[in-house]
Structures are given as structure tokens and as C-alpha cells.
Chain A
Amino acid sequence: MKGLRHKRSLKALCLQVADSSIVIWGELLGFLDFLRMLFRTIGRTARHPLRVKWRTIFYYMDSCGSDATPIIALLGLLIGVILAFQAIVQLSRYGVDNFVVNLVGTVIVTELAPLVTAVVLAGRTGSSFASELGLMKSREELDAMVTLGLDVGRFEIVPKVIALIFVMPGLTIISDVCGIVGGMLIVCSMLNTSIAEYLSKTFEVIQPVDLTQGLVKSMFFAVIVGAVGCWKGISADRDAQGVGRATTGAVVMSIFLIVVSDAAMTALFSFVS
């Protein structure tokens, strides 16, 4: 009896894995198809810039960029504080606590600031895009636009993605500055370092290529957050629960893809440099 139950559970596991793989594969193909449509629309928009919905873009830049600045600045500051503190605790054991400045500056600019900014925006903006488009789909507004011959991508999706691409580097640099300031607070108070010394060491260790790396990553993350949020929205079910699932799925998938792409880009930049 035990053996039979074991066989059944094993069979059920195999079936579950197969079903999940099929679902994931289907989602991946759907997302790739969406990306193809998105880049094609962006290309068409770039060829005809006067046809771009700039008012919509500015609206989303305001709501996704300037409204998110306080939270991004605060998180950047706290990340800098935490990183500096932990670095001092660990590095002082080996007597190399004078390298804390190097660690804080480099890690924040190349990794943490773009990553944290992207994750916050995935939760804040990606979910908002997904819910907005999911609601529009459930109320058949998207169908109405298609019926009227309007390109949903040009009117609804591309402005969102472009707005994110524009604001993400700005938010990242704000996060960089606040992270460095947070690190400075801890380093100057715990290691009796002057502010001038901290800043000069930071600017000495951060290279232009590090800053560029962080900003390029942020733009990729902006595409991921915007694309995933919009795709989840337009592929949501036409009910309230479907909108809820789309919102949650957008956040989870965005964060997953952000981390995976961050790893890939870090490896690529290391290889190139």
C-alpha cells in the first residue's frame, strides 16, 4: 500500500512538473512575442517622433519618477548605511577597514543602487501598469481601441516603457548619491574619517565605467519592469481575480528577471573590462 501511494505521488509529481513546464514555456513564448511587438512599436515610434504621445510619457515620468524619488532616496540612504556598517564590522577583523570606502562606493554604484531601484519600481510601477491594463481589458477598453483601429502598443504600452527608460537612470543616480551619503555617515562616525577624505577616496575608486555600468543596467531593468507589467496587464483574465493575479505576477516575474539579467550583465561587464 505504501509502495502504491509512493508510485502515485511520484506520478503526480511528474505530471505537475510537466504541466508547470508547459505553462512556463507558454508564458515565455508569449512574453517573447510581446517583446517583439514592443520593440517593433518602439522602432516605429522612433522613426516618427512627432506621433509619440509625449503628454502620456510626461505623465508617467511624473508618476513613476518624481513621485518615487523620496522612497528611492530613503532606501538608497539606508542601503548605504547597512552596507557600510556590515563592511566595517567584517573588515575591521582583518585590519583592512580602510577599504570600506572602496567597497561601499563600488558596490552601490555598480550593483545595489540599480537593483534596489528596479525592485522598488517593479513593486510600485510594474504592478500599477499591470492593474491599469488588466482593468482596461476587463472593461473591454482595449478591445474598443482595437476596434477603432488604434494601436494599443503605441497608445498604452510604449509611453509607459519609454517613461520608465527615461526616469530609471535619474532614480538610479539619486540612489547612488544617497547610498554614498549613507555610507559616509557611518564611516565618518565609526572610523573617524573626515568627509573630504571619504569623498575623495570614493571618487578615486569609482571609475566612469562603473557609473556607466550601473546606468546601463538601470535602463535594461526599466525595459523589464515596463514590459512585464504591461504584458501581464494585457494578458490578464477579464475578472477582478484575474487583475489581482496579473498584478502579483507582474511583480514576481519582474523581480525574477531583474535579478537574472543583473547576474548576466555583471558577468558580461566583467568579461569585457
Chain B
Amino acid sequence: MNEANRLKLGGFLLISIALLIVGFVSVGIGKIFEPRYKAMTVLNTSVEGLAVGSPVKYLGLPVGKITAMAMRRKDGYIAVYFDIFPSAVEQDSAFADNSDDMNFSSVMRKKNLSCFINAAGIMGGAYLELSFNDSLPPAMPHLDVQPPDGVSYVPSRPSHIGNAIQNISRMLDELSKVNFIQLSDKLNETLDNMSELLSKSQLKETLDNINRISSDLEISSHRLETALTEENVRKINDIITNLDAGILSLRKIGSDPEVGQMVKNLNVFLGDAVAAIKDVRAAGAQVGDDAAALRLRLEMTLTRLDNSLKQLQEFTQDVANDPNQFVVGRQEKPVQPSSGK
């Protein structure tokens, strides 16, 4: 029979044993041998989702596990026993007696711990949460609990789930008092009024106007956007800059005394020109009046002339028709009364 390769066998055994030890240490074999703080609580709510082995957490930190759950014969509540790992509690050198029990008990007393059930994820699990007993009172303040030796009692308080369920129940009670039929009638009435109002033509017109105005505004803003393009803005800026420069140069020029004299002369000239224009206007008005009077006299003269010419024309015609009227006189027909037709 061949001999075993001792090097290979030794290496295999060493590696296997090392991996076994590392594996067990990594998964926490040491926790099995460390002492535990034993505690219990009594719950009067459903422990659905909680099971032996469920974690116990303090402010989210896993500190222990549930070891047993049972119904109490005395009152029918659920007694939950759990272990807390000492490694979860920091050792404090300020305490004279640094035993594990004293440290944990002192933490419990100092913080006035209570516990409640909290949901763990969406899969229906739960865990026991230890926390401060803040404003919420304990769930059963007058409960008589005699924990076994070596087991501390942690009072329970209503859980967030329990609170939520209570609040929902309260809301449902309030809702049941509401008269939904009356409410629905009023709602229907309101909706009818609203639909009547909305169907009015005035409102429609107003809405149309508003639409028109808003579309006009949109167009204007779009035009403004188009007008106030970067280039245009740059041009406007250039114009303003040039105007500024022009004004500055004008100011420089304006500070010159000759220019000042010139401006004064210009002012005087402008004043004279304005006066002359006024005189011309007055004279023009006078001329206008005279022209109107002259025109009137002319019109009258022409009218007299016209009349004279007409009379002469009539005389001439009369003479042509009856030359004897110089001897016998003008023969005029007698005036006849009208027949009323």
C-alpha cells in the first residue's frame, strides 16, 4: 500500500481545522457561552409576528432574543421572556459593583425602560423594542407581576401598531356619526349649482376673454422675447452707451463759455422768433378779417350788379316785345286769384 503524502494531508487538515474554527467564531459561537440577562414583560395586545427567537432591540440596536412566550393563567395576558446579551451593554467603570446584573439593572432603572411590539419589515414579522417610557403611560400600570428569580420585569406600553389601531378605531367611530346622506344631498346640490353657473354664457364669454388675453400675452411675451434677443439687447446697450458718451461730450462742450454765449444768443434769437411768429399770426388774423370783410363787400357788389343786369335785360326784352309801351304804357295782365288746385 502506498504511504500517505504527509505534507498534503497535514496541509489539508490544518486548513480544514482553521476554517472550522474561523467559521464558528464568525457566526458567533461565543454568544452561546456568554451569560445572559433574563427579563420578561407582559403584553395585553396581539403578539402576531412575534415568535421564540425574534430579536429584542433597544432603540434599533439588537440586544437580545425572545426565549419563551406563554399565556398567563391569572389574567390571560401574554408573558414574554427574553434574554439580553451583556455585550450589548457597555461596561461602566463608574459603578462600584461592576457585575453584569448591576450594570443592566442600573441601566433599566435609570432609563425607566418599557417595551412594545414593533413591526419588522413587510413580511409580517415583529420584534420587541425596548425604549424610554416617555409621555405614553404603561399599558397596565396596576398589573401584579411576580417574575421568577433572576428575571427582571420590564413593563409594556402600547405599541405604535396598537396606537395606530386605536386611532383608526376612534376615527371610524367619528366617521360613523356623520350623516352621509345629508352630506351627499348637499354635495349634489352644490354640484348642480356649479354646473348651472358654469353653463352660463357670461361666464363662458369671460373665460373666452381671459383665454384671449392670456394668448395675447403669450404672443406679446414671445415677441418681446424675439425682440429682446441678445443681439438686440446688445444694440440697445450700445445705443445707450453712445448716448451716454454723447451726453458726456455735450456736457464737456456745454461747460465751454463761448458755447454758453452761443446758447444765450440762440435763446434770444428763439425768443425773438417766437415773438415774430406771434406778430405774424396776429397780422395774419387781421388780414384774414379784412379779407373776409372785403369778400363780403365784393359779394354784395356783384349781387347788385347782377340784379341791375337782369333789370336791363328785362327792359330790353320789354322794348323788343312792345315798342309802343313808350306811348301807350306797359300792358300787364291783371292778377287773377288762384283756383285752389
Contact = CB atoms under 8 A, between A and B. Distances in A.
Does A pair with B? yes
Given A66-B9, A173-B16, A174-B16, A55 B28 contact: no
Interface stretch (B17-25, B34-42, B155-163, B197-205): B17-25
B3 A55 contact: yes
A167 B15 CA distance: 11
B26 interface: yes
A67 B3 CA distance: 14
A182 interface: no
Interface stretch (A14-22, A203-211, A231-239, A254-262): A203-211
16 contacts: A55-B3, A58-B6, A61-B13, A62-B12, A66-B9, A167-B12, A170-B13, A170-B15, A170-B19, A171-B16, A173-B19, A176-B19, A203-B27, A206-B27, A208-B29, A208-B31
A176 B24 CA distance: 12
Contacts of A56: 1
Interface in A21-74: 55-56, 58-59, 61-63, 65-67, 69
Contacts of B31: 208
Interface of A: 55-56, 58-59, 61-63, 65-67, 69, 167, 169-171, 173-174, 176-177, 203, 206-208, 210-211, 215
A65 B9 contact: yes
A211 B24 CA distance: 7
Given A206-B27, A208-B32, A211-B23, 6 more contacts: A55-B4, A61-B4, A66-B9, A169-B16, A208-B24, A210-B27
B12 A173 contact: no
A188 B324 CA distance: 151
Nearest to A205: B27
Contact of B12 (A65, A203, A206, A215): A65
B337 interface: no
Given A59-B4, A62-B9, A208 B20 contact: no
B3 A170 contact: no
B12 A59 contact: no
B11 interface: yes
A210 B24 CA distance: 10
Contacts of B29: 208
Given A203-B26, A203-B27, A210-B27, A170 B12 contact: yes
Given A169-B16, A170-B13, A173-B20, A66 B5 contact: yes
Contact of A169 (B2, B15, B20): B20
Contacts of B252: none
Nearest to B26: A203
A177 B6 CA distance: 24
A69 B9 CA distance: 11
B27 A59 contact: no
B8 interface: yes
A173 B23 contact: yes
Range of interface residues on chain B? Answer: 20 to 34
B16 A59 contact: no
B9 A211 contact: no
A62 B27 contact: no
Contact of A66 (B2, B3, B8, B17): B8
- Most chain A CB inside 10 Å of its own CB: which residue of B20, B23, B26: B23
Contacts of B32: 208
Contact of A208 (B4, B15, B28): B28
Contacts of B9: 58, 61-62, 65-66
A170 B21 CA distance: 11
- Most chain B CB inside 10 Å of its own CB: which residue of A61, A171, A208: A208
A166 B82 CA distance: 38
B8 A59 contact: no
Nearest to A105: B27
B148 to A, nearest CB: 25
B3 A208 contact: no
Nearest to B29: A208
Nearest to A65: B12
A215 B28 CA distance: 16
Nearest to A95: B122
A173 B26 CA distance: 13
B12 A69 contact: yes
Given A62-B9, A66-B9, A203-B27, A174 B15 contact: yes
A60 B281 CA distance: 141
B26 A59 contact: no
Contact of B11 (A55, A66, A210, A215): A66
A173 to B, nearest CB: 5
Contacts of B28: 203, 207-208
A181 to B, nearest CB: 12
Nearest to B52: A273
A56 B1 CA distance: 8
B84 to A, nearest CB: 18
A188 B2 CA distance: 45
Given A210-B27, A211-B27, A62 B20 contact: no
A81 to B, nearest CB: 20
Contacts of A174: 15-16, 19
Report the 8 A-B pairs with minimum CB-CB distance, sorted nearest first. A170-B16, A66-B12, A62-B4, A58-B4, A62-B9, A59-B4, A66-B8, A173-B19
Given A169-B20, A174-B19, A211-B23, A59 B11 contact: no
Contact of B5 (A62, A69, A208, A210): A62
A215 B21 CA distance: 13
A206 B27 CA distance: 6
A174 B13 CA distance: 11
